[in-house]
Structure 1
Amino acid sequence: MTRPRIAFVTPGAFPLPSPNGGSVERVVEKLVSRLVPTIDATIYGRTGRSLSRSGMLNGARCIRYPAADKRKYTARVQSALKRLTPDIIEVENRPMYVLRLKRKRPRSRIWLHLHSSTFITGKAITRSNLERSFALAERIIVNSEFLREDVIRRVPEAAGKVSVVHPGVDIERFPSQYTPEGAARRQALRAARGWEGRSVVMFIGRLIPIKGVHHILRILPRLIEQHPSVLLVIVGGAFYGSKRTTAYTRKLHRMGAKFRKHVLFVPYVPHTEVPDWFIAADIAVVPSANREAFGLVNVEAMSSGLPVVATRAGGMKEIIEDGVTGYLVSPENVELELEQRLLELMRCDDLRLLMGLKSRERVENAFTWDHSAQRWLALLRESGFRHV
């Protein structure tokens, strides 16, 4: 039986594979690798250092084009699609690409997969173009119920075609600290870093205001006063794959300068190294603002056996079970509640253990890439491909 041909058009911002950044590209890479036993997949993206113009990536063909303006990129993809004649084209996170591809291929079946709200705001696309792109897309996939509601609020007419496919985590790459192998790895890393006897609170992500790192630094003096062994580790930078600074990152460093024994800034690290940072920590903290559609770091931390303290915002409410796998704090009272919940977890080993085990269990039951692939394939079956 012939497998359906599916083309995945990435934004062209980062190459695939993308170890140094690009959460959209990472989702495509991980999800498509679970789909290729069932579909014939081709991924279009950007060239990268030491990457060939074409090749195989986890069973999918990967066609890469040089970095250029987005119109040239979509024009090259358009030419390639004429030769491929896919059954479905999935556009990743760029509604404007739907318009450009549909203009040249009016009969093509195009899905739009939104990974954030960034490119559906008025800064990125006009309302008329957003409405047209949603009307032309056969299906709109979003990564959370939060984003689904946002899409419908902006374009109510699209409600019937919006479906949720949560992203996942590779549980083999992010082992739990409560397995024998994970415990040994954790002990070795903490010894090498001099973290024995410390209560390690871990933030991993981009250092931009929406991620809320300033909130943690503001409460740090009170955390130190009440729990002197606390160590706040901040892993990340302002840009994917870069150590460039911004006014905001420099502000964060100034805030932490008075507490050098209690703050560690780690510049941006490749995603391949993220598991070793989470497994060596005690608690993950994700104080993002309301625009956070999902937040892969939440499920990565939970897979590692960490309780997560996050804001009750965006898609994080769908991931973290408040009081079970961690805590959700109010965005309106974020600093006071962060302080209370972090102290509670740092003071109680049994509570951290229980929540960490529940975190891992929740990921295994709902947030693996295999779960994501099964949800995606269910949508394909609903679209007429009954035998996948």
Structure 2
Amino acid sequence: MRIAFISPGSFPVPIQYGGSSVETAITNIAGRLPAHWNVTVLGKRFPGLKDKETRNRVTYIRMENTSQRSYLDSCIRYLNKFPHDIVQVENRPAFVPLLKKRLPCPVVLCMHSLLFLHPRALGGRNPRNCLNSADHILTNSRYLRSLLLSRYRTSTPVRPVHLGVDTGDYISRWSQQGKRIRYRLRSRFGVTGRTVVLFPGRLIPIKGVHLLLESMIQVVKKNPRILCMVVGGSRYGSNRETRYVRKLKQMARSIHPHVRFAGTIHPTKMPQYYALADLVVTPSIGKEALGLVNLEAMASGQPVISTAIGGIRETVKTGVNGILIKPSRLKHELTAAILHLSENPALSERLGRNGRLIAERFFSWDHTARQYARLYYQIHSSRKGRT
């Protein structure tokens, strides 16, 4: 079978210095599809990357980095010259009507958020018409599927398939290998004997980092051995200091020895930060469709404190692998939750071990790729049956 992915073009694929869940998903799923399939990923050109190359059995074709319409036209010309059995568009519903008009094969739309269904992103197109133009729609959570159906009432079949995590790269801190790595890293980072609270993610208001720092001011009064490590930048792959980032650093000054800003970290180094932590806090106040960082924390054997919102509720369960707090209660309950886990190592271990088992069983990239492959088989078989 011949499968083509059309990336949004915002960041390189495969991931180089950073990217959203979209580029992460393409990178991790494309190479895990059946070995005998012909898989192509179309994207834009970026410095240091060839116009065409093959990695991990996946062919990457990179178009000139121009406007979105020119990029889409280039993708269509390539796909007409080299036909594929199925074309999947990642998070760009505006692309679908023209692809359906000019390509003979089924078009699958994979939605990672509702951001690109806003009028400005659609360039005047009707969002429901864009959704209805697709043959199938994938969403990264049941929550996002319910939003699509309730807001836009699309007639296209919508199937939720959770994204995943590489359970080989992210090693449980409770395994023998994980314990050795953790001991070495905690010594190297100078955090031996401290309880490390990790925030991994973008430094933007909807991620709730300010709420975490407000809580840390209270936490360190009761436990001065706690350290909060903030990993991430204002944008994927960027350490640009926005007004919000400056606000966060100003907040942290009063407890400076207890907060470290690590900045943007290359994706390959993120497992190290999870390994040296004691718990992960992701206090999002936006409508998270899923939350990949929670899956990474789970795979690392870390208990997760997060918000009972959006697709996060499909991955984190209170008393099972973490603690969920209602958004309206974050200011009142986050401090207590951090102290509760930091003072109960047996509970943290149980939640962390459970998280690892859940990640292995339900949220590995291999599991995600198998679900994608089953859908592609169904689409392909159904099409062959009609011809």
* TM-score tier (shorter): over 0.9
Give the aligned residue type for 2:91.
N
Q: Is the 8 A contact 1:36 1:60 kept in 2?
A: no
Q: Is the 8 A contact 1:19 1:272 kept in 2?
A: no
CA deviation map 1:128-179 (0-9, x unaligned): 5211111110000000011001111121133x50001111111110011111
Q: Which residue of 1 aligns with 2:189?
A: 193
1:307 equivalenced with 2:310 (yes/no): no
Q: Which residue of 1 aligns with 2:292?
A: 296
SS of structure 2 residue aligned to 1:185: helix
Q: Is the 8 A contact 1:36 1:59 kept in 2?
A: no
CA deviation map 1:285-337 (0-9, x unaligned): 11112421011100101101100000001111000121110011001111222
Could you tell me how far 1:382 is from its partner in structure 2?
2.6
Q: Is the 8 A contact 2:7 2:42 kept in 1?
A: yes
In structure 2, the CA distance between the partners of 1:154 and 1:125, relative to structure 1 (3 Å rule), is farther
Q: Is the 8 A contact 1:204 1:234 kept in 2?
A: yes
CA deviation map 1:252-289 (0-9, x unaligned): 11111111110000111111110000010000011112
Give the aligned residue type for 1:51.
L
Could you tell me how far 1:122 is from its partner in structure 2?
4.1
CA distance in 2, matches of 1:82, 1:120: 27
Q: Which residue of 2 aligns with 1:262?
A: 258
Note the 1:23-42 alignment, pairs <5 A.
23=20, 24-42=22-40
1:67 equivalenced with 2:65 (yes/no): yes
- Unaligned 5+ runs, structure 1: none
Give the aligned residue type for 1:17.
P
CA deviation map 1:54-82 (0-9, x unaligned): 01121111101232111111111111011
Q: Which residue of 2 aligns with 1:171?
A: 167
1:272 equivalenced with 2:268 (yes/no): yes
CA distance in 2, matches of 1:123, 1:215: 31
Q: Is the 8 A contact 1:288 1:310 kept in 2?
A: yes
Q: Is the 8 A contact 2:4 2:84 kept in 1?
A: yes
Q: Is the 8 A contact 1:53 1:65 kept in 2?
A: yes
Could you tell me how far 1:124 is from its partner in structure 2?
2.6
Q: Which residue of 2 aligns with 1:344?
A: 340
SS of structure 1 residue aligned to 2:224: coil
Note the 1:1-388 alignment, pairs <5 A.
4-23=1-20, 24-105=22-103, 107-125=104-122, 129-158=126-155, 161-385=157-381
CA distance in 1, matches of 2:158, 2:54: 31
CA distance in 2, matches of 1:67, 1:209: 30
TM-score, L = length of structure 2: 0.95
CA distance in 1, matches of 2:380, 2:216: 55
TM-score, L = length of structure 1: 0.95
Q: Is the 8 A contact 2:195 2:225 kept in 1?
A: yes
Could you tell me how far 1:384 is from its partner in structure 2?
3.9
Q: Is the 8 A contact 2:306 2:323 kept in 1?
A: yes
Give the aligned residue type for 1:184.
R
Could you tell me how far 1:108 is from its partner in structure 2?
3.1
CA distance in 2, matches of 1:207, 1:123: 24
CA distance in 2, matches of 1:187, 1:328: 29
CA distance in 1, matches of 2:114, 2:273: 28
SS of structure 1 residue aligned to 2:261: strand
In structure 2, the CA distance between the partners of 1:232 and 1:123, relative to structure 1 (3 Å rule), is farther
Q: Is the 8 A contact 1:46 1:65 kept in 2?
A: yes
